[in-house]
Amino acid sequence: MLARVTAVAVSVALAATATPALAEADSRADLPSAIVSMGDSFISGEAGRWRGNGLTHYPGSRWGTDLAAYDCNSGESWCYHDPARVYGASYDNGCHRSDVAEITHVPSVTVGGVSYPVAPENRVNLACSGATTEAIDTTPFKDPTTQADQLATLAETRRIRLITVSVGGNDIDFAGIIFGCVAAFTEGSSEHCMTTYGPELPARVLTMADNIRRAVGSIRTVMRDAGYADGDYRLVLQSYPAPIPASAENRYVATDWSRWNEGGCPFYDDDSDWAHDTVLPLIAEAIEGVTGADTGTEFLELRHAFDGHEVCAKGVTQATEDNTLKNPLPMAESEWIRWIGVPYLSQGQEQEYAHPNRYGQLALGRCLSALAAATATTHTCEGPA
């Protein structure tokens, strides 16, 4: 089974003093049900352009991995490319809301024991690549208004049943940490990133948790101002899936440059283990600490959702010249994370690195779908058995 969701805690009352549900309380009872994603690149759909990784210089379909490719020659060694085919209008401002973002895969949601179908056009993605918690409620980022302001507008025209949020990574500059690890490896530094960033990380994460709590409060305020009771919809915070495996599960030898120029995972073993076994759990625990009865939020644990499918993981591979857009490398055999900085290979944009690719977003969508169908308030999504 691709993703198994385990209920870890039974449902708790989200609002003991909630006012009557919207279905009974106001004139919006006939509005279509909607679900919404908010936050950063891990939920906006960044890297959704890529269906796995393909190590080729040809500016074609990149062995069937580049979904921005079209009007290719017969061998797909040359194609036109238009990232807007995947990211739509959000390609222009860099939000990169892809057509396969997590929220697009959720067909229904259960609220108060009732299952509500959600049409594709009502699965709304407000997230933006690079966003911090401030982009949700205080400072517009790439878009003209904050995500909370966009939510307020949507709440007037749709019956919002579920809001899921992925945010916090940019508050602690997780991308800076990742690229610090990359720089240490590619420059042959004796000072590894776990030493550089490790001491300051706990304080960053504590601040991040406070920021997330503030943003959650702002979302609640927007919905209450729009006439929603807290129990009229579900509010979910999710953690982050691991982009790289622990060192023992990396198929490339750490002392070999192939880890960089073939695999696209240029990390020392100790930095890999630190990121996988310390950084991600620390972030996840902080996010989970914001959830619960006091904030009325649910938690979706995603750390292990890509187990065995991280970039450079053993047991999976990259596409080859035998693969094409019509004959792609299957999901079960592929990496679900966009690789990082293969030198001299011009493919896509740097901001796509280390994000869930098209297959990864499908996996996350299945995790969220399982949560939406369940009633428990804490959920763990695990990778393939």
Rounded to an integer, the average pLDDT of 342-352 is 92
Token pair in block for residue 371: 């949560």
Strands 4-9, 378-382: parallel, antiparallel or unpaired by DSSP? antiparallel
Look at residue 15 in the predicted model and tell me its pLDDT.
35
* Per-residue pLDDT, 343: 85
| Residue 7 banded pLDDT, cuts 50, 70, 90 | very low
Q: Is the pLDDT of residue 8 over 80?
A: no
**Res. 160: pLDDT tops 70:** yes
Residue 312 is classified by DSSP as T
Three-state DSSP at 154 gives helix
Tell me the pLDDT tens digit for each residue of 129-145.
999 999 999 999 999 99
pLDDT, position 375: 87
pLDDT grade, residue 385 (50/70/90)?
low
Residue-level pLDDT at 9 = 34
CA atoms within 13 A on the CB side of 22: 26
Number of Cβ within a 10 Å radius of residue 138: 15
Whether pLDDT at 365 is above 60: yes
The per-residue pLDDT for 271 is: 97
162 — pLDDT class (breaks 50, 70, 90): very high
The whole-chain average pLDDT of the chain stands at: 92
Beta bridge partners of 7: 379
DSSP 206: H
For residues 349 and 8, the model is more confident at 349
Distances (CA, A) of 318 to 336, 342, 347: 10, 13, 14
Statement: residue 250 has pLDDT above 80? yes
Phi and psi at residue 361, to the nearest 5°:
-70, -30
Helix (H, G, I), strand (E, B) or coil at 336: coil
Give the burial class of 195: count Cβ atoms within 10 A of its Cβ; 0-12 exposed, 13-18 middle, 19 or more buried. Answer: middle
Q: Is the pLDDT of residue 3 over 60?
A: no
What is the average pLDDT across 158-162? 98
Paired with 36 in beta bridges are 124, 163
For the chain, the straight-line distance linking the first and the last C-alpha, in angstroms and rounded, comes to: 7
pLDDT digits (tens, 9 = 90+) for 54-78: 999 999 999 999 999 999 999 999 9
Whose structure tokens read 């919207």? 22
Contacts of 164 (CB under 8 A, 6+ apart): 35, 36, 37, 38, 43, 102, 103, 235, 236, 237, 238, 300, 368
| Residue 22 reports pLDDT greater than 80 | no
What domains can you pick out in the chain, each with its CATH number?
A: 4-43+101-382 (3.40.50.1110)
**What pLDDT score was predicted for residue 73?**
97
Please report, rounded to a whole number, the percentage of residues in the chain having pLDDT higher than 90.
Answer: 87
70 has which bridge partners?
A: 80
Contact 46, 357 (CB under 8 A): no
What pLDDT does 254 receive? Answer: 87
Strands (E), the chain: 4-9, 33-39, 69-70, 80-81, 108-111, 114-117, 123-125, 159-166, 234-238, 298-301, 378-382
User: Average pLDDT of 202-231?
Assistant: 98
Question: How large is the average pLDDT for residues 15-40?
Answer: 68
Q: What is the pLDDT of residues 291-327, one digit of tens each?
A: 998 999 999 999 999 999 999 999 999 999 999 999 9
Label residue 26 by pLDDT band (50, 70, 90): low
Give percent helix, percent strand, percent coil of the chain, each to the nearest 5: 35, 15, 45
